[in-house]
Structure 1
Amino acid sequence: MNILFWHVHGSWATAFVQGKHRYLVPVNDARDEWGRGRARTFPWPETVEEVDVASLRPDDVDVIVLQRPAELDRIAHLGRKPKIFLEHNTPKGNVPDTRHPMADRDDLTIVHVTHFNDLFWDAGGTRTHVIEHGVVPPAVRWTGELERLAVVTNEPVRRNRVTGTDLYHRFTPVAPLDVYGMGVAGLRLDRVFTHDDPPQAAMHEQIAHRRAYLHLCRWTSLGLSLIEAMQIGMPVLALATTEAVAAVPADAGVLATRVDTLVEAAQWLIDDPDAARRMGAAARQSALARYGLDRFLADWDRLLEEHTCA
């Protein structure tokens, strides 16, 4: 089928376009948030076509996957095509009473990427569905010979407490932190080393040498970088918040809301690489089974077929 969706979340989109369909991705001259087009840092298949949304006709599209409320205005000329609203994020504001912007609609389904998000958003009468993440497996495997901790996050200075940036200094006495992602260059902390927006493959290769993966997000949807680290075979140290408690089994890492527990676990893994190896192997096995690409694409196919048949 012909699926129209905007290139909003690069890692999620990379997994989504691995399916059997024709993917129509808006592009504009600026290649801004309304027209990024095809990915430039990861090879997408030839079934992904760049399009001008305004020039599309209703017969060109079978189903539309929306990710931002403002996209509705840009598809008005396509009529009553089947629509799915993909919600990537945890709610903001008056949690747990935050109303979803697509609440109380009968012309679309909201798809959440975690059961936690589905639980916390108030969608009113709108139908909701959960399709958990799928990940294109990273090409590298964990070696963990460097006594350092890896963090992958975006805009840790601006987001601060959301991303747990204020907790970094608790871990630096144990080991240096290597922080990867967009907008990390502004971090100015002792023993915190930044790697601003590296290509995904290069980032995977680098974090695979670090002893463990540190996930300190207080309030965020389940990051694909956490799943990728687990599939690489990295042991996880994470705050026991949002969906992390379901994504990281007990033998794959240490989860806690007491930060000192995570600091102690970090010291343990730095001192005991064999324990880190065992936990990383369990993390990899779990993440491949739960967040495999085949399961992800099959779940989406079932939902897409249901909508287009209806």
Structure 2
Amino acid sequence: MEAPTTDPNGAAGPLNVLVWHVHGPWMTSFVQGKHRYLVPYDGHDGAPGSEWARGRCDRPWPNAIDIAPADLADANIDVVVLQRPKELDLVSHWLGRSPGADLPAVYVEHETPREHAALTKHPLAERTDIPLVHVTSFNRLMWDNGRCPNTVIPHGVLDPGYLYTGELPRAATIINEPVPRWRITGTDLLAPLSEAAPIDVYGTGTEGVHTALQVPPERVCGAGDFVQGRLHGELARHRVFVHTPRWTSLGLSVIEAMYLGMPIVALGTTEASASIPADAGIVSTEPDILAEAIRQFIHEPGFAELTGKAARHWAQANFGIDEFLSRWDRILADSVETHRALPTR
């Protein structure tokens, strides 16, 4: 394999990057880079792929192409970006090369530990040949990373523009599969919070959420899953954005809401308190305080607008796409160069 090209500053030129479509919003940002992104796809003629080879799912991702697993062995891949433990085995099976040993690899951890945070070892904890990238500092702190080299690359988001109107005296939130995930995503909190204002819940599997909560749909309405462009417009019509997860990584949805210019009311867990400043909204672990904040934003649209503008400025300064891509360029280039420097086996 030829070495990747470099510019005078030492940055690697475009690479062929094997990466799975796991988290659509994160992937949307990741593939904005300068590389060529190969996305496993085992469907046919536009049919959906499997969990382990979804492909692009018709998303307008620049520089990303679907590739059949059977074609990967002959593909010129410079580095693989892993996101789930099983992908380690898939690389070995599909490419006949071991990630870390035969092929440069980076592992992205999107989630918090599923079990005890103080005691859970990361699947890569005993490996030193594959760097581990956490998407939040909270995730990095909660996982036992062991000997694995690790860092944090915070989320970067494409700016959808300032779209906020706040014309609807309602709250909005995004929760995928809110009923099965229930307490993890704070779905149970929607019922008491909806006493302050009606809440529209966007995302997959939201249609029956009011039934599970035992409240009328006028209070909690499952709005369904929208394409991103339409979703942004719908969210921005709402007076306030509510973020309720108890134990998930920081959702890109709350960052997107800040970019739109929405004031934020968020449960003060995981990375939320470090990612949402006081002038961007209210962060608390007390549901009564969150409900009062929703009520205040609903009844004071001018205050909601000013708070949302502060949230947008914060998001632009802290979750920009350029810094996100620059940091990824560096770690991909470092992984390739480090692997090239290893003794020939």
Q: TM-score, normalising length from structure 1?
A: 0.96
Secondary structure in 1 matching 2:266 = strand
Q: Which whole-Å CA distance do the structure 1 matches of 2:272 and 2:57 have between them?
A: 28
- Work out which of the residue numbers 69, 81, 88 in structure 2 matches 1:72: 88
The aligned residue for residue 192 of structure 2 is: 170
- Identity among equivalent positions (%) equals 48
> Residue by residue, what CA displacement relative to the aligned partner does 1:179-198 show, whole Å, maximum 9, x if unpaired?
00011112123211111211
1:120 is matched with 142
**Deviation larger for 167-176 or 237-246:** 167-176
Q: Hey, what's the Cα distance between the residues in 2 that align with 1:271 and 1:105?
A: 54
* Structure 1 segment 199-238 matched on structure 2, within 5 A: 199-238=227-266
Alpha-carbon distance between aligned partners in 1 of 2:27 and 2:84, rounded to the nearest angstrom: 14
CA displacement at 1:124 relative to structure 2: 0.7
Shift of 1:59: 6.3
Deviates more, 1:133-142 or 1:234-243: 133-142
Query: Does the 8 Å CA contact 1:16/1:297 hold for their aligned counterparts?
Result: yes
38, 50, 74: which one aligns with 2:66: 50
Deviation (angstroms), 1:58: 7.0
Residue aligning to 2:341: none
Say which of 3, 8, 16 aligns to 1:2: 16
The aligned runs of 1:80-229 (5 Å cut-off) are 80-139=102-161, 141-187=163-209, 188=211, 189-190=215-216, 191-229=219-257
When normalised by structure 2's length, the TM-score is: 0.87
Q: How far apart are residue 39 of structure 1 and its match?
A: 3.6
Partner amino acid, structure 2, of 1:78: R
Query: Structure 1 stretches (4+) deviating beyond 4 angstroms?
Result: none
The offset of 1:128, in angstroms, is: 0.7
Offset from partner CA, 1:159-185 (integer Å, 9 cap, x none)? 111111111121222211000001111
Give the aligned CA root-mean-square deviation in angstroms.
Answer: 1.2
Q: Which runs of 5+ in 2 are unaligned?
A: 1-14, 339-345
Segments of structure 1 that go 5 or more residues without pairing to the other structure are none
Paired residue secondary structure (1:98):
coil
For residue 262 of structure 1, give the secondary structure of its aligned residue in structure 2: helix
Deviates more, 1:47-56 or 1:115-124: 47-56
Q: In the aligned structure 2, how far is the partner of 1:304 from the partner of 1:220?
A: 26
Distance 1:151 1:184, change over 3 A: same
Matched, 1:36 2:54: yes
Structure 1 residue 78, shift from structure 2 partner: 2.6
Over residues 48-67 of structure 1, what are the superposed CA-to-partner deviations in whole Å (9 max), with x where a residue is unaligned? Answer: 12112333237611110001
How far apart, in 1, do the equivalents of 2:87 and 2:247 lie? Answer: 25
Deviation, 1:139, is 4.4
Distance in 1 (CA, whole Å) between partners of 2:121 and 2:311 is 34
In 2, the alpha carbon distance for the partners of 1:293 and 1:280 equals: 20
Does the 8 A contact of 1:56 with 1:78 survive in 2?
Answer: no
Aligned residue-pair number: 308
Q: Is the Cα–Cα contact under 8 Å of residues 42 and 69 in structure 2 kept in the other structure?
A: no
